[in-house]
Structure 1
Amino acid sequence: MDRYEQFRRAAVDQGVPNDEVDKFADQLRFAIWMGSPRHDEQVVGRRGGLPRLPVGVEWPSNRRGNPLPFIASVDCAALPRVEGLPLPEDGSLLFFLHHENDLPAPLGTDVPEFARVVYVPAGTETAVASPPPGHDSTTFFHEDIPFLIPEQQLSAWVQPVLPEWIEEEDFEFDSEVEERLLGELKHVDDLCELVDELWPDPDRSPVIHLGGYCSEIGGQDTPWTQMTYAGITSRLDDSDFPGSERFDPGEVEKYRLTREWVPLAQFHTGSQYHYGCFLIGRDDLAGKRFDRTLSFTMFTE
């Protein structure tokens, strides 16, 4: 039994109507959270340190040839499986980001200049990369942050995630779509409590999230608004959102983008002011087209 079926059965047993259970489950996501291992937990990745790159592949850089800081790597085969998040079954994913340069960069259709995701298929010959010349102990940010982050082992656990407009009691809506959807959930408090009962909070601090919803930190436009400005449109149609004709087409398009795109990875950078989020379409994730990943760096002040 997968987690969604487990939730549906428990909700129906509590007397919640099937159609409402389905609407709520449609917003429920499961994410992989990673942090420092406890006891004998399996190590599934590493934050910082030096990346293992395919032999002959240079350290990722921007268009001027400046190397990008290495954030983390994950072993896909060691990760727990999560419904709705079609990560590769094996191989590894490496994440690179220069958060200060990426922050003002427009979120568009091209490969981000200051962020990169590298997928290394299983069986690829790799080697630990040497630090780029002149970057082994240098600070390249306005804050006192080293280019090379100290290495930290990571273990993983699965966490249920709901959108903020469901979880927060005093959420200020800027979307009629989400406000209407919430109004259709008459048992929303009971269903939120059920999620907490089925998957209790492990009381752990993650440093990296895979999947779930993109956090919206700071005052800049959301990634969905920036996508519409950049001309990125959803591949979903009316069959994916029955009743969409009731709403403003622009709001419907943003809502569809939130459903089609998922956070491949989001994380705290070494900065106390910047938060990174890599977004990818579900179809591109399933097809391992990581060159289509978009980067959305947030400023927390």
Structure 2
Amino acid sequence: MTSWRDRLSALAREHLPAELAAAWTGLFRPGIRLVTDGEGARVGRLGGAPVLPADAQWPEWPGRGPLDFLASVDCAALPRESLSIPLPAAGTLLFFYFDADRRGSDDIPVLEDVDAARVVFVPAGGPSAERAAPDGLDPYPARDLFGEVVATAPEREHILLDQTRTASGETLDEAAEEVQIPGEFVGSEVFGELAAQARGRGPEHQVGGFAAPVQGAVENEIAAHVLGGYRDPGLAEEAAQWVLLAQIDTDDEADMIWGDAGMLYWVIRSDDLEAGRFDRARCTLQCG
């Protein structure tokens, strides 16, 4: 069996100077890509109806209405030996979001709208049942998800590119300044391009690992919101506290379209994740 990191490592060695490739590949984390055409046990589902505890209310954005149910992830079914984040051994994560475009609403969520997206954790073994969507919501088509372990890496302004050094003492950002790969990608852009080549085509739904940002690092975006701006001297320290819980990509077959072919990201502070405080996860949208 080949290693989950082999393809991206080979691309790094092919296109980057040896010292830079060695330093960058040392940062790789496994991510669990969620695909609809995989093999093995089902690890979740896109769309359909969520299984909620009997006494749970359907999540809503106060004043705007109920949230759309996007996906479920069965924590016990994931390939746990490849998880980069400490998820519960059992139970289900449910992801909800207010899809303004799909329902023809002008109330498009922004990062400040914390109630416009929600993560609900349903413990295993308790009384629960499949719940139909509230009146007026059109569920996304149900599609089973399977897990594939993929290599993920810091890219697009991630703080680790400034904090990690090559054997010669340069940061990864500094060492990449003179690098260019086919397609006119230069400097730190090469990290994102190589990661994208390794991921291949298809929607990039994922649990754990590094985010695949459409724009800048999502951790920086969240940290800037928490601190009140990108100029705060504590930005890097704050950004380091946040990790990717999951990302849900634009997926035409699932009728999920986020802005201009964008991506939804749920990130959470490491201490909240370890304590199981999934209600504190934050969602942000990036698109082209």
- Using the size of structure 1 for normalisation, the TM-score is 0.66
Label 1:221 to 1:271 Cα distance change in 2 as closer, same or farther (>3 A): same
Label 1:252 to 1:87 Cα distance change in 2 as closer, same or farther (>3 A): farther
Do the aligned residues in 2 keep the contact of 1:70 with 1:148 (CA within 8 Å)? yes
1:136-172: CA deviation from partner (whole Å, max 9, x where unpaired): xxxxxxxxxxx310000000011111122599xxxxx
Residue number in structure 1 paired with 2:27 = 27
* Corresponding position: 1:152 with 2:143: yes
Question: CA shift at 1:225, angstroms?
Answer: 4.0
Q: Secondary structure at the match of 2:115?
A: coil
Q: Secondary structure at the match of 1:280?
A: strand
- Using the size of structure 2 for normalisation, the TM-score is 0.68
Residue number in structure 1 paired with 2:277 = 289
Question: CA shift at 1:226, angstroms?
Answer: 4.9
Label 1:298 to 1:102 Cα distance change in 2 as closer, same or farther (>3 A): farther
Q: Secondary structure at the match of 2:84?
A: coil
- Structure 1 segment 187-226 matched on structure 2, within 5 A: 205-217=202-214, 224-226=220-222
Label 1:231 to 1:99 Cα distance change in 2 as closer, same or farther (>3 A): farther
Q: How many pairs are equivalent?
A: 245
1:83-116: CA deviation from partner (whole Å, max 9, x where unpaired): 53111111000000114478552348xxx11000
**Partners in 2 of 1:267 and 1:261 — Cα distance?**
17
- Structure 1 segment 109-258 matched on structure 2, within 5 A: 112-135=114-137, 147-164=138-155, 180-183=171-174, 205-217=202-214, 224-231=220-227, 253-258=234-239
- List gaps (5 residues or longer) in structure 1: 7-15, 136-146, 168-172, 234-248
Percent of residue pairs bearing the same amino acid type: 30
Matched letter for residue 284 of structure 1: D
Do the aligned residues in 1 keep the contact of 2:91 with 2:123 (CA within 8 Å)? yes
Q: Secondary structure at the match of 2:227?
A: coil
Question: CA shift at 1:204, angstroms?
Answer: 6.3
**Partners in 1 of 2:108 and 2:236 — Cα distance?**
23
Matched letter for residue 224 of structure 2: T
Do the aligned residues in 2 keep the contact of 1:27 with 1:162 (CA within 8 Å)? yes
Label 1:86 to 1:232 Cα distance change in 2 as closer, same or farther (>3 A): farther
- List gaps (5 residues or longer) in structure 2: 7-17, 101-105, 165-169, 181-189, 251-255
Do the aligned residues in 1 keep the contact of 2:109 with 2:116 (CA within 8 Å)? no
Residue number in structure 1 paired with 2:85 = 85
Question: CA shift at 1:222, angstroms?
Answer: 5.2
Do the aligned residues in 1 keep the contact of 2:43 with 2:147 (CA within 8 Å)? yes
Do the aligned residues in 1 keep the contact of 2:52 with 2:128 (CA within 8 Å)? yes
Label 1:95 to 1:226 Cα distance change in 2 as closer, same or farther (>3 A): closer
Do the aligned residues in 2 keep the contact of 1:93 with 1:118 (CA within 8 Å)? yes
Q: Secondary structure at the match of 1:296?
A: strand
Q: Secondary structure at the match of 1:217?
A: coil
Residue number in structure 2 paired with 1:276 = 264
Residue number in structure 2 paired with 1:243 = none
**Partners in 2 of 1:230 and 1:202 — Cα distance?**
31
Q: Secondary structure at the match of 1:157?
A: strand
**Partners in 1 of 2:46 and 2:172 — Cα distance?**
38
**Partners in 2 of 1:230 and 1:211 — Cα distance?**
22
* Corresponding position: 1:57 with 2:56: yes
**Partners in 2 of 1:299 and 1:202 — Cα distance?**
18
Do the aligned residues in 2 keep the contact of 1:74 with 1:94 (CA within 8 Å)? yes
- When Rg is computed on C-alpha atoms for both structures, the one with the higher figure is 1
* Corresponding position: 1:298 with 2:286: yes
